Every structure is written in structure tokens, then in C-alpha cells.
Amino acid sequence: MADLVEMFREAVLRERLFTKADKLLLACSGGLDSTVLAHLLRAEGYDYAIVHVNFQLRGAASDEDAAFVEELARAQDAKFFGTAVDVEAAALPGESTQMTARRLRYSYFKKILDEYKYDLVLTAHHADDNFETFLLHLLRGSGLTGLAGMQPRRDRLVRPLLSVSRAELLAYAGMHGIRWREDGSNAQDDYLRNRIRHTLVPVFTEGFGLSPGSWARTAEQLRGEQLFLAEALARAAAAGAGQLIRRQDYPVAAQLLTLLHHLHPGFSAEQHRQMVMATRPLVLRGEETTAYVTREGLQFLANADLDAPLALPLEVQALPFTYQHPLLSLRLEQVLRPEELRLADGLYLAPSSFPLHLRTRQKGDYFAPFGLAGKRTKLKEYLIDRKVPAWLRDRLPLLVDAEDKILAVPTAGIAEGCGVDPQDAWVWRLSWKMTYPA
């Protein structure tokens, strides 16, 4: 059997639970698990106090538990905090005895943490408890969060024994002559958790050889998946609407599939699968968004923005001129020629003659990019070469002259013959603002 002290040390380091500089508050019922944890904390030299809540649900036995824990604290030279509560009187409408006791217990812990400046509260939940929690959540139809069981740390609550089985706690207690109190209510089947412990757990442990220790490894893996998902969702949310989800950030297909399921539920499972497995550009429409899938990644745009009327073509008779659309806005204006002709979200071009027009691309469009000595290329190929995203190509307002020659392609470039002359005092500035990154 693994050395319990080493298991405890490894869990504290691996999960970064606490350090010798932290002031710890140990929640102790007087039972095996919390009494052993008190012994471990003392043996390892941690700064800790002991806290106990007497729920007065078992008459004299509850008072004896409280006295035992107070004596344990005295024997370990640890500060003791204790309180007695009337669970029945404190119950809220529709609240079970267990729920009320839990609420009162953690409320008292918080009071002591805040009032006496302790950093963390420790509970002694172990691998057997976590296995029961998994089965309880499984029966209730929980998702990944529930099936992952209890977390080693959540805010100021720490559970350092989740990788330790009850059998290992018993062995350690026997080796060190540790006494503890038995809660007689644990032998009753009044609560669902007790029924799971007495009837369902033996089916797995005795019938299939699944020990709480082996389950602890599964729980750790599930917690890792849950942590990945939480971080991925937070990262995706922070990136903003329309941000590209890059495949290279999610090399495991199952991870990307899980992310899409949670982040974009308006698509079917088959559509999510197609997004992950796609080897060529793909467009998939969901309930609220449309997915543009490329080799590099996936981009999601709101259907309402994509479906908004373009109101093109438009005639431009004078400057300044502004075009507004949910996907992007354009502004064409005359300005004094700047020393620097580079713009992050715009371009400069030589003034032209009115009227001008804004229109979308048409079949057979050609474009002569600036700097290619008038060489023309298919507009479709130019847009692809300039990495204009597929969702924008058919919606991009092009600036054309009275003869329908394309003068400028917003986000991409200007035409040959539209370059600014060094002698020009005034130039035109075409700027844009994108709702989604292009």
C-alpha cells in the first residue's frame, strides 16, 4: 500500500493546494478521515486551526463528537472554533436536512475564515466519497462537471485527500494508533448517498474490482478535461465575436468537438463533426450563426448580420461619404496628404472624378492591382490571394468609377493608376471598420 504521507505531499504539490505560509482551517467532524488529516497536518508542520459544527441531530452522540474534536485540537495545540446549530429551525422552505446542514456548515466556515484571517478551509473528503459523488451524479444525469466529482480546490475550499481511499486512511490510523468517532447515521439508508454506499458501490468494487483508488485516476482525467474545456471556453469568449478558432490550438479532434458543442450549440452533432473533419472550405448554417470552415480553423458569424440587406449599389456624388452595414462600415473622405501613407484599417488613393459607385463583385470582374504595371487578374483570384474571407467576398463594397472600373477593394488594395502622387496636397482616404476580424 502506498505511503499515505507521500500521497498527501504529492497531492498538495501537484494540485498546488497550499503552502507552509498559509493559515489553514481544518473542518473536523471527529470521524476517521478528518482526524487522520489533522494528524497529517501536524506531522507535516502546517499552521492550522480546527473547526467543528455540532448539528445536534444525534442527541448526546453529537455533543460527544464536539467534545472529542475540541479535545483533539487541545492535544494538537491547535486553535479550536466550534458552534452548535438548530438545523430544523434554520431550514428554508423545501430545503432538506442535509442541504440545511451543509449551508449552515459552510456559512460558519466563511465567518471564521473572514473574521480570523485564515486563507483556506480544508475538508477530508477522500476517494471513496468522490466515487459515491460520481455515482450520485450519474443517477441524476449530470454532465461533465458533475461526473468529474469533487475538485481538489475551489476558491478557498481545499480537499487534499481525494486521491486517498478509506482503506488507506484506516491502515494509517491503525499504524499510528489514531482514535476517531463513528457516526451511527452512516450505517442507515435514510439518505441516497448512504444507499449508494451500501448497495451500489459493492457492485463495482466486489463484482468488477473497481476500487475507489482506480476511480480517483479516472476522476483526475475527467477534471483535466473539465479544466481544458473551461479554459478553452474562456479563451474563445475573450477573443470576441467572429474570432477564428484555430485548429492548431486544439490538436485533438475530440477536444475541438467538445468545444464546439458547448460554444455553438445551434448546430447539429453531424454539423459539428463535419466542421472538425473538414479537409476543404465549408460553410454550415446553424440556428443563430453560420460557420465558415477552412484548413486553418473556424469562424462563426451571426446570421442576422449576414442576412442584413447590403443596400448596394450606391452612388457617391460628394465627400465625405459613409456606408454602414452590420458586417462593416466604410468612410471615403478627402484629407491633407500625410507623410506616412500606410493605414492599418484603410488606404489612400488619388482623387478621382464623380460620380463614383459602391457595388459588390460581379461575375467576370477583373482588377488591375497597384504596382503590377496594369496587369489584370480575376477579382475572385485577387480576393483569395489577399486572404479576404469567404463570408466577405460577396458582401464587400467595391469602389468603382463612372465606367465601372474598380478603383479600390476595401481591406485589400487600390488599382493601378490610383496611387497618390508625391505632389498631391489633398488625397482620398478610404477607411473601414470590421465587426468581425477578417
Cell of 262: 458547448
Average pLDDT of span 87-108: 92
- What string of DSSP letters covers 51-68? EEEE---STHHHHHHHHH
Beta-bridged to residue 369, according to DSSP, are: 415
Average pLDDT of span 395-403: 96
User: Could you tell me whether strands 23-27 and 120-122 are parallel, antiparallel, or unpaired per DSSP bridges?
Assistant: parallel
CATH fold of 4-223 reads Rossmann fold (3.40.50)
Average pLDDT of span 135-156: 80
29 marked as binding residue = yes
The confidence score (pLDDT) of residue 102 equals 93
Query: Is the confidence at residue 198, as pLDDT, over 70?
Result: no
The confidence score (pLDDT) of residue 181 equals 95
Cell of 155: 476558491
Looking at the chain, the domain(s) classified CATH 3.40.50.620 span: 4-223
Average pLDDT of span 360-367: 96
What string of H, E and C letters represents the secondary structure of 77-132? CCCEEEEECCHHHHCCCCCCHHHHHHHHHHHHHHHHHHHHCCCEEECCCCHHHHHH
The residue with greater pLDDT, 222 or 425, is 425
Cα torsion 307, 308, 310, 311 to 10°: value is 130
Query: Is the confidence at residue 210, as pLDDT, over 80?
Result: no
* Contact residues for 213 (Cβ-Cβ < 8 A; gap 6+): 127, 163, 165, 168
| pLDDT single digits (tens) 232-276 | 777 766 666 677 888 888 887 877 888 888 888 889 889 999 999
Contact in structure between 146 and 183 (CB atoms under 8 Å): no
Cell of 31: 470521524
Please report which confidence band the pLDDT of residue 225 belongs to, taking 50, 70 and 90 as the band edges: confident
Beta-bridged to residue 366, according to DSSP, are: 378
| pLDDT single digits (tens) 402-426 | 999 999 999 999 999 999 998 889 9
Please report which confidence band the pLDDT of residue 203 belongs to, taking 50, 70 and 90 as the band edges: confident
Average pLDDT of span 181-192: 67
34 marked as binding residue = yes
Phi and psi for 244 in degrees, rounded to 5?
-70, 130
Closest CA to 312 of 290, 292, 328: 328
By mean pLDDT, which of 101-110, 213-222, 330-339 is the weakest?
Answer: 213-222
Phi and psi for 409 in degrees, rounded to 5?
-115, 100
146 marked as binding residue = no
Instruction: Please give the model's pTM, rounded to 2 decimal places.
Output: 0.58
Average pLDDT of span 369-382: 94
* Contact residues for 203 (Cβ-Cβ < 8 A; gap 6+): none
Please report which confidence band the pLDDT of residue 74 belongs to, taking 50, 70 and 90 as the band edges: very high
State the average pLDDT for the chain: 90
Contact in structure between 152 and 160 (CB atoms under 8 Å): yes
The residue with greater pLDDT, 298 or 222, is 298
Phi and psi for 26 in degrees, rounded to 5?
-90, 120
The confidence score (pLDDT) of residue 357 equals 97
Rounded CA-CA distance 400/252 in Å is 46
The confidence score (pLDDT) of residue 1 equals 47
31 marked as binding residue = yes
| pLDDT single digits (tens) 9-57 | 999 999 999 999 999 999 999 999 999 999 999 999 999 999 999 999 9
Rounded CA-CA distance 290/277 in Å is 17
Please give the DSSP secondary-structure letter assigned to residue 369: B
Average pLDDT of span 200-218: 72
Query: Is the confidence at residue 185, as pLDDT, over 50?
Result: yes
The residue with greater pLDDT, 64 or 94, is 64
Q: Which residues of 134-159 are buried (b: 16+ CB within 10 A; e: fewer)?
A: bbbbeeeeeeeebbbbbbbeeeebbb
By mean pLDDT, which of 18-22, 180-184, 386-390 is the weakest?
Answer: 180-184
